[in-house]
Amino acid sequence: MLSFKLQSWNAVAPGLESKAQWRSWLERPFPLSSDLHKVSLTQVSPILRRRFTELGRCAASAALPLLENIDAVPGVFASRHGDTPLTLSLLEGIAEDQPMSPTGFSLAVHNAVAGLLSIARKDVSEATSIAATENLIPLALLEAVTRLQEHEQVLCIIYDVPLPELYRPYAESESYPFALAMRLSRREGVDMVLEHGLHHQLQSEEASDLLRVMRLLCDLDGTANFRSGSGVGWSLRRKADAREN
């Protein structure tokens, strides 16, 4: 069992940019757009802003509001698929014998979002980029909690965009772009518990991991359970709720 404090969080998806909007949508879901609404990213210089793809804009729009008064913070950047639309476009170019774009390649690597945010904020703190086929959210939190052993605060961002049509028969993804940014702390915030190794009962077999954690953050559920193919998974809950179970 790992304990940490959740100091603040922010999540974005098309039409959902506040806790009230997320809570209302979770209570009465409706289809979301597959495209992210225009994000201004006024905190980023225009020259650098042009390098942010939809994946990067989504992640940055969730993270930057949490970092307004923070000069430096280590980060954990977690995306299951990365920038697949950009990667696919590069592969199609290779198939057509087109020269590889150095800029396109640099933005398609898995740690591109971490690098862009670091440049935009002039923050040279360490950053880790991870991917996971399943349990991406608890594994990202595990990495972030590990970083807390050496730092007072850690930024944890989970983000993805819909897979291109070509890949959808082979892997699952949300049908809309999203990003969830959380600021973890050693001293301030809501006490949380992350557990592994239990056979947790899922609140809903149909709900995705993202929806489970958002229901927890929006106070609609007391626990977010995540299960792997083996049936042994993870549980995330507030510490008070953990004592009651």
26-53 per-position pLDDT tens digit: 999 999 998 887 778 888 998 999 999 9
**Residue 228: is its pLDDT beyond 50?**
yes
Q: What pLDDT score does 241 carry?
A: 56
Q: Which amino acid is at 52?
A: F
**Residue 200: is its pLDDT beyond 80?**
no
**pLDDT (mean) for 182-190:** 95
Q: What pLDDT score does 70 carry?
A: 94
**And the tokens for 85?**
């639309």
**Residue 245: is its pLDDT beyond 70?**
no
Domains of the chain as residue ranges with CATH: 7-189 (3.40.47.10)
- From the list 103, 108, 102, 58, the residue with the least C-alpha distance to 82 is 108
Return the CA Rg of the chain. Answer: 18
Q: How far apart are CA 136 and CA 159, in angstroms?
A: 10
Cβ atoms 222, 242 nearer than 8 A: no
Question: Mean pLDDT for the chain?
Answer: 91
Contacts of 168 (CB under 8 A, 6+ apart): none
Q: What pLDDT score does 230 carry?
A: 65
**Residue 120: is its pLDDT beyond 60?**
yes
| Packing angle, helices 54-63 and 112-121, rounded to 10 | 50
**Residue 244: is its pLDDT beyond 70?**
no
Q: What pLDDT score does 42 carry?
A: 87
**Residue 191: is its pLDDT beyond 60?**
yes
pLDDT tens string 133-162: 889 999 999 999 999 999 999 999 999 999
**Residue 96: is its pLDDT beyond 80?**
yes
The C-alpha angle 12, 80, 2, rounded to 5 degrees, equals: 85
